[in-house]
Amino acid sequence: MKIASWNVNSLNVRLPHLEQWLREAQPDVVGIQETKLADEKFPDAVLAGLGYRSVFSGQKTYNGVAILARERALDDVQMGIPGFEDEQKRAIAATVDGVRIVNLYVVNGQDVGTDKYAYKLRWLDAVHDWLAVELAAHPRLVVLGDFNIAPDDRDVHDPAVWNDTHILTSTAERDALRRLQALGLHDAFRLHHDQAGIFSWWDYRQAAFRRDLGLRIDLTLVSDALRGQAVEAGIDREPRTWERPSDHSPAWVRLEG
DNA sequence: ATGGTTGACAATCAA
């Protein structure tokens, strides 16, 4: 089962990109972030025509998450973080073929020390407690999404700039990610690749993609119970080369069996 | 260079 995460930065604009990538990559499950669509505008009929069922939690203009599953049911759908009041639609979970999928659009945080940064850390704290509950109920768990955190210096093009006081790489953010991983969640990409300089996001500004000035902030985490089944993981750069692309590329993991 | 580009939505906000 191939499981992927993609921040599309407006599903309205990127539906043709998603369609092309679904045809080419043939994922079985996809977590989408930044749909930027109210639920009544979600293109579930179009996706059904491509063989994908969908569940979604969206809002106008900002945020919005969805999970797609090819020819499989999406059961026990959870929208939002239980017990955490949040206007922003950033979390959705569902069970597919006995694998629990949690799809996160982690708060960006703007800059270290801002209100949005404090919200990011609060939000990650709530996610930690939620994932502990999810793991207890569903040992076969995949947590994926736009984490808006680069795990370590291999995941940034310039560690001198992207340092312990910079957003997406600050100490508190990386500590929060490590705390999630300490629940028993493993970065699938790092189970198979140790090289530096493989990225999933490139800023639209300064020709960052052409210069390969990126970060790896889109992750697929697999639980202890799935670790041995995560036989392959990667990031698809191609969609970032297409006309009018998202600033993110899809990250994926393949579970054997 | 407190810049730069994209998306949603119509003057800014968010990333």
Nearest nucleotide (C1') to alpha carbon of A61: B8
User: Are A92 and A20 spatial neighbours (Cβ–Cβ below 8 Å)?
Assistant: no
Residue in the block written with tokens 């998603």 = A18
Render each residue's pLDDT in chain A as its tens digit; 257 residues: 999 999 999 999 999 999 999 999 999 999 999 999 999 999 999 999 999 999 999 999 999 999 999 999 999 999 999 999 999 999 999 999 999 999 999 999 999 999 999 999 999 999 999 999 999 999 999 999 999 999 999 999 999 999 999 999 999 999 999 999 999 999 999 999 999 999 999 999 999 999 999 999 999 999 999 999 999 999 999 999 999 999 999 999 999 98
User: What is the residue range of A14's domain?
Assistant: 2-255
Can you give the pTM of this predicted structure? Answer: 0.98
d(CA A58, C1' B14) / Å: 16
State yes or no: is A105 an active-site residue. yes
DSSP symbols for A194-233:
--S---SEE-TGGGTTTTT-EE--EEEEEEHHHHTTEEEE
Asked whether A99 and A142 are in contact (CB, 8 A), the reply is yes
Give me the DSSP letters along A52-67: EEEEEE--SSS--EEE
| pLDDT score of A16 | 98
Strands (E), A97-244: 99-105, 141-146, 185-187, 201-202, 214-215, 218-223, 230-235
Asked if strand B comes closer than 7 Å to A110 Cβ, the answer is yes
DSSP tag of A246: -
The single residue of A28, A146, A155, A187 carrying the catalytic annotation is A146
Distance A165 CA to B9 C1' (A): 33
For chain A residues 72-101, those near strand B by a CB cutoff of 7 A are: none
Phi/psi of residue A174, each to 5°?
A: -65, -35
CA pair distance A163, A158, nearest whole angstrom: 9
Q: What is the pLDDT of residue A257?
A: 80
* Gap between the Cα atoms of A182 and A196, Å rounded: 22
Instruction: Say how many domains are in chain A.
Output: 1
Is A165 within 7 A of strand B by CB distance? no
Strand B close to A241 by CB, under 7 A: no
**pLDDT at res. A41:** 98
CATH of the domain at A141: 3.60.10.10
